[in-house]
């Protein structure tokens, strides 16, 4: 699996090959997401509002690019941060099947 690649101000911020419980330098600074994982089992991503896969979440299907996270919100009813914009508000992610 390649990883979920967030970016800020057009510059790559980070890339992962597995789950991340803390985006560290990329945490709450991300304005776009790209799920470029390899198609197959566990190729979709839950992006989380909180550290350690906590709080609200938003699913990002394999191959999807979210260019402007101001236009996307965390799913309603999924915990702290529900309904808030993803822009500058993602702290962790986990691979899943959506």
**Confidence label for 77 from pLDDT (cuts 50, 70 and 90):** very high
- What predicted TM-score, i.e. pTM, was given to this entire model? 0.89
Per-residue pLDDT reduced to its tens digit, 78-97:
999 999 999 999 999 999 99
**Confidence label for 3 from pLDDT (cuts 50, 70 and 90):** very low
Enumerate residues 6+ apart whose C-beta is below 8 A from 95.
1, 18, 19, 37, 42, 43, 44, 45
CATH number for the domain formed by residue range(s) 7-96: 2.60.20.10
Per-residue pLDDT reduced to its tens digit, 6-61:
555 556 777 888 999 999 988 998 888 989 988 999 999 999 999 999 999 999 99
């Amino acid at each position: 699996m390649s990883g979920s690649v967030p970016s800020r101000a057009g510059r790559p911020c980070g890339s992962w090959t597995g789950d991340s419980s803390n985006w560290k330098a990329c945490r709450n600074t991300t304005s776009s997401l790209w799920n470029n994982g390899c198609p197959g089992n566990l190729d979709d991503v839950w992006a989380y509002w909180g550290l350690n896969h906590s709080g609200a979440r938003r699913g990002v299907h394999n191959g999807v690019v979210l260019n402007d996270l101001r236009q996307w919100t965390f799913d309603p009813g999924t915990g702290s941060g529900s309904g808030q914009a993803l822009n500058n508000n993602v702290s962790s992610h986990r691979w899943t099947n959506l």
